[in-house]
Structure 1
Amino acid sequence: MTGEGAEPGTTRPGGRTARVRAAVLQATGDALVEKGFAALDLADIARRADVGKTTLYRRWGTTAALVADLLVDMAEQSLPRADTGTLLGDLQANALLVRRTLTDPRQGELFKAMITAATCDERTAAALHRFYEIRIAEWAPCVEQAVERGEVPEGTDAHEVIRAVSAPLYYRLLASGDPLDEAAAHRAAEAATAAARAGVYAGEAGRVV
């Protein structure tokens, strides 16, 4: 979003302003990992980023706006989707990317903090939902290409297939505490591929019986 009417902190200027934004978002991520959303404080973030408090209040205004902008930045910087030539190969690449992100010492804790924040702050929740919409849309063509190749039935819901890959990995991160290893990533991709091939995501018309 750019220009008149843009949300605070969501414009994409260059030069010094871009450097200030990068420093502020880095500081916001650091503070989230260390303290969690409830303890975020604009003055502390300004100190960490070596930026005047008035700059933060003028451009973002609230900690929720900072977290929302951080999610926008993370979505924009995420790696592009794979194109291995097969649905299983593409979904394995997706699963391994999700697994690598969630097990990263900083990124994993950052996602936990933002998911926690989203449970109690509507703006953060909306930003988190938008983040996943962007990432799912990035990977959905993997499934659409698989339909074109005849790997999965016509009418397969590409977004549901991509969600099915990452869901068990987030469950391990946030709920069960089971190992989030490469084997788990491969199983998630294999399960989603098998279900898609069986027509589970294409409704009754595309289901193999």
Structure 2
Amino acid sequence: MIDEPDDGPLWARAQRDDGAAFAELFDRHRPRIHRRATSLLADAHDAEDVTAAVFYELWRKRRSVVLVAGSVAPWLLVTTVSVARNSRRATMRYRRLLADLPRGDDHTAAVDAEDLEVRDRLRATVRSLSPTDAALLVLTGVEDVPVWQAAEAVGLKPSAARVRLHRLRRRLRADLHDLAPSVRTTPEGSPS
């Protein structure tokens, strides 16, 4: 969130039902929110739907949303994580329904199995986190939001957020330890 323009003046106008100000905020933050939704979901169409839902929620809750460090982005990012989780649950229910239907020919796309495993395991790990922990991870680890801003966005004290992030990093290392690139060694046994 470095060098972001102050959303305060636009947000004040949007809170007074100024659609043009809200549209400007939408244009300012939509690319980032869409990227985040895309990273959390497997389907580009679902990411579009989540992005739209997040901005709908922002408009709907405009009178109660509080800016963090002069920006609406932290609220949007936390909401993106939550809406994406709900979307994944709905998608899983739909896929289970489809799996129970009779099938025709199986048309599978060729996908690099290793990349697919890495993505699937990382997504599974992130999905297993609490909404607060997932939001902290996305805000600090992916979006480079300072810990104090991320903490404020999810309703924690900075010290509590740092403890949670420490535990998250430890958990991710344990869950994904076998996905780390291996260090090649020379015949003498030293790293190359």
**TM-score with structure 2 length normalisation?**
0.30
Q: Which has the higher helix share?
A: 1
